[in-house]
Amino acid sequence: MKTIVMTGGTSGFGADARARLAARPGTRVLSGSRSTAPTDPDALPLDLARLDSVRAFAQAVIDRLDGTGIDALVLNAGLSFRTGDRRTGDGFETTFAVNHLAHYLLIRLLMPHLGPKATIILTTSGTHDPDLKTFLPTPPRHADARLLARPETDPQRDTDPRSAGGRAYTSSKLCNILTARALAARPEARDGHWQVLAFDPGPTPGTGLLRDTPPALRLTWRLLGGATRLMSRFNSRTAVAAALTDLTIGTVAAPPGHYYARVVGNQLTWTTPSQLARRDDARDALWADSADLLSLS
């Protein structure tokens, strides 16, 4: 029995990928969701905006493992807001807390239970890279966990609410790549021969990413999900789900030296992330500072 643990498997391409994975013989997908169906024994309660819920989810997963290892950990959940003024009950900026900090905590809690040759995937976004000139004109300025967690303390913080919301999202996606790199550099990953990847689905209409936008934009985004064949700059949910599934089960492996998988024109490609995402000092500082924010040793 292969065990896959997943976040972000209840909507969009994540739900499509989860269905593909769960349909494979001898595979179970333990997935987290804020609303779980009582008829789905493998759906476990999880609210990524609450660290106590993250810890409870991790413990529930460990209990279900019953001593076996995790074959793949897919950290796919993500959100964005129009503004950057939301805070979690733990006091952290919500986009950073959900997209990065909660997933970092899950990694730390589940690391001892990852099996040999496990695959770990963190879903990121090309919006982290200013050279790609994506639809978000607010690329990250830094990956300082303390300032991203409490942006009101950042001397360079955005005063415009919409810019602050966009910057919170792109910065969290930068953190996903740096976390993947930091995990891959850990001795546990080397000794376990883990494959650690950052996955960029590209612009994929039909997902819930724009749930906080005005109704007209949400409707357009949903309708585009059924017409991506006519829109060359967008990817289809089907293609992205297939790519994520292939990476998770190892049908597609990263070429030597690569860890950043990006879907472009419905095709999986391998490229390099931004300059800031490749900085080892930013990688190491983010890992250490995130641990401090969570009171982890």
Render pLDDT for 162-213 as a digit per residue (tens, 0 to 9): 999 999 999 999 999 999 999 999 999 999 999 999 999 999 986 555 555 5
CATH of the domain at 258: 3.40.50.720
Is the pLDDT at 53 greater than 90? The verdict is yes
Q: Residue 132 burial by CB count (10 A; 0-12/13-18/19+): exposed, middle or buried?
A: middle
Is the pLDDT at 160 greater than 90? The verdict is yes
What's the whole-model pTM score? Answer: 0.92
Q: Report d(CA 267, CA 139) in Å as an integer.
A: 24
Q: Residue 72: enclosing H or E segment and its boundaries?
A: strand 70-75
Q: Report d(CA 45, CA 71) in Å as an integer.
A: 21
Render pLDDT for 89-100 as a digit per residue (tens, 0 to 9): 999 999 999 999
Residues sharing a CB contact under 8 Å with residue 245, sequence separation 6 or more, in sequence order = 17, 20, 21, 251
Task: Name the more confident of 199 and 220.
Answer: 199
For residue 225, count other CB atoms closer than 10 A to its CB.
Answer: 18
Catalytic residues: 169
Render pLDDT for 37-51 as a digit per residue (tens, 0 to 9): 667 889 999 999 999
Q: Report d(CA 232, CA 191) in Å as an integer.
A: 42
Q: How confident is the model at residue 232 (pLDDT cuts 50, 70, 90)?
A: low
The domain containing residue 101 runs over which residues? Answer: 2-293
Q: Report d(CA 110, CA 199) in Å as an integer.
A: 20
pLDDT value of residue 230 = 45
Q: How confident is the model at residue 104 (pLDDT cuts 50, 70, 90)?
A: very high
Asked whether 185 and 154 are in contact (CB, 8 A), the reply is: no
**How many independent structural domains does the chain possess?**
1
Q: Give the torsion sign (CA, 108, 109, 115, 121).
A: negative
Q: Report d(CA 251, CA 212) in Å as an integer.
A: 35
Q: How many Cα atoms are found within 13 Å in the side-chain-facing hemisphere of 270?
A: 10
Q: Look at the block and give the residue holding tokens 């966009």.
A: 166
